[in-house]
Amino acid sequence: MKRRPRRSTPAALIALVLAAAGALAAVVVIQMILGERPWLDYGATARRLHDVRWADLPVVVTGGVVALLGLVLVLAAVLPGKLTVLPLRGAPDSGASRHSFGSTLRAAAARVDGVDDVRLKVRRRSVRVRVRTRRTRPDGIADAVRDAVTARLDRIDPVRRPEVKVRLRAVRSTS
């Protein structure tokens, strides 16, 4: 099972812009039907746009911004996002959420004797573990954390096995 994030933010922004433009057009049309002075005067807007040249700076800048926005939206639609559910071996449709995967590995690293703080990042091809200890002689803690996280990965059995990278920092207290 490979589940990717939805592209709801770009879709919501486009829907909001289109809804605002549609509401503005509806208000102007209703004002014109009722014989009131509309918010946007069609004649004045048409005359102003008729006097603008393609080579004028505001037209070029607006065209560039619209083209860049379009490119960003196309890339957001085409490029795949991070997996939200990581596929596991075993049952055909089994998977683990990225959050629970990281929490499980973090708990395994935190159970190692001498570890005071664990920070963990699950990346595409690696798991980066940053460990803090207050021991004056932190020999072997990094290897123990790597072994614990690797053993947990063996039990979870993901389809794509990430490389485990451990960084140890010994914090000595001044008391």
Domain boundary among 41, 56, 78: 78
**Which tens digits make up the pLDDT trace of 23-44?**
999 999 999 899 998 888 888 8
Are residues 111 and 126 located together in one domain of the fold?
Answer: yes
Are residues 121 and 146 located together in one domain of the fold?
Answer: yes
CA torsion sign for 67, 69, 72, 74 is negative
Other Cβ atoms closer than 10 A to 157: 11
> Cα Rg for the chain, rounded, in angstroms?
28
Are residues 52 and 68 located together in one domain of the fold?
Answer: yes
pLDDT (average), residues 150-164: 90
Are residues 62 and 99 located together in one domain of the fold?
Answer: no
Q: Which domain range does residue 137 map to?
A: 85-170
Domain boundary among 50, 78, 106: 78
d(CA 73, CA 18): 15
Confidence of residue 84 (pLDDT cuts 50, 70, 90): confident
Here the CATH number for the domain that contains residue 123 is 3.30.70.1350
Are residues 91 and 162 located together in one domain of the fold?
Answer: yes
Are residues 69 and 99 located together in one domain of the fold?
Answer: no
Q: What percent of the chain has pLDDT over 70?
A: 94
Are residues 92 and 145 located together in one domain of the fold?
Answer: yes
Are residues 43 and 101 located together in one domain of the fold?
Answer: no
**Is 0.75 surpassed by the pTM of this model?**
no
Domain boundary among 51, 78, 105: 78
- Residue 2, domain member (yes or no): no
- 25-59 burial, b for 16+ CB within 10 Å, e for fewer? eeeeeeeeeeeeeeeeeeeeeeeeeeeeeeeeeee
Residue, of 64 and 137, whose pLDDT is higher:
64
Q: Look at the chain and report how many structural domains it folds into.
A: 2
Residue, of 7 and 161, whose pLDDT is higher:
161
